[in-house]
Amino acid sequence: MNIKKPIIALLSSILIISSATGCQSYAERKGKEAEKLKEMALDYLHTYYDDDFLPVRLRSKSFVDPYDLIVFKSEKYNAREFAVYHYDDNKFSDNYFTLQLEKEGQLYFAEILKELSIEGSIKIGFFGDGRPEKLPRNPQFEDYLNYGTMSFTIYVFTETQLAADKRKMFIDTLVENRFNPSISFITVEISLAEIENYELDEILRQAETLFVVKNSYSISVDFEVEEHPETVYIGSSE
């Protein structure tokens, strides 16, 4: 009788069971770690902000991103999403300030448009990871401007393409005030009143159908202005 086959079958069964048990234990452990991380992130947020938060997704650190990323929704800001960053030293950072400052920033630059007699609608999009180190927890927009690092884009939406001299007037005003954000002047298919009703993310997702033409600029830390190639959207009616 060949006893090798039953022994091999038995060993295979043991390996399969051990593998399944190991995978289950690993999944359970990772699940518990994720829940603990969400709880820690919530404790961190409630330490600084008067708001209610709902965790919606988590992405573990990688070679590209040296942090765990937890995305939350804010009740105070109508379920808008923001990110919390968890680093190896068990420290947290966040970009909740982008929700706090967005409206105030839009009003700030809308006033400049008004002073220049330019008809348009302003939106601001922040970028970058985490909170600037010296920015107060409940800042004013001018606190952010005074911080010096301006990681945001000003979107100026208009119903007809803004003339080059008008665009230059707006940019020159930014440079005179020592501001160096990115700027996009975007002609849209819909009215400015409709633009006001949309969040920036919603507008950008519909760029191929809403946008007619985009003129973009960047201002360096030395306040040198660079104009980028004009973008014409073939999905528009023009």
In terms of pLDDT, which residue wins out, 163 or 236? 163
3 state SS for the chain: CCCHHHHHHHHHHHHHHHHHHHHHHHHHHHHHHHHHHHHHHHHHHHHHCCCCEEEEEEECCCCCCCCEEEEEEECCCCCEEEEEEECCCCCEEECCHHHHHHHHHHHHHHHHHHHCCCCCEEEEEECCCCCCCCCCCCCCHHHHHHHCCCCEEEEEEECCCCCHHHHHHHHHHHHHCCCCCEEEEEEECCCHHHHHCCCHHHHHHCHHHHEEEEEEEEECCCCCEEECCCEECCCCCC
Q: What is the pLDDT of residues 128-156, one digit of tens each?
A: 878 888 888 889 999 898 876 789 999 99
Q: What is the pLDDT of residue 193?
A: 95
Does 34 have pLDDT greater than 60? yes
Give mean pLDDT, residues 24-36: 73
With 0.95 as the threshold, say if the pTM is over it: no
More confident of the two residues 117 and 15: 117
pLDDT, tens only, 177-211:
999 999 999 999 999 999 999 999 999 999 999 99
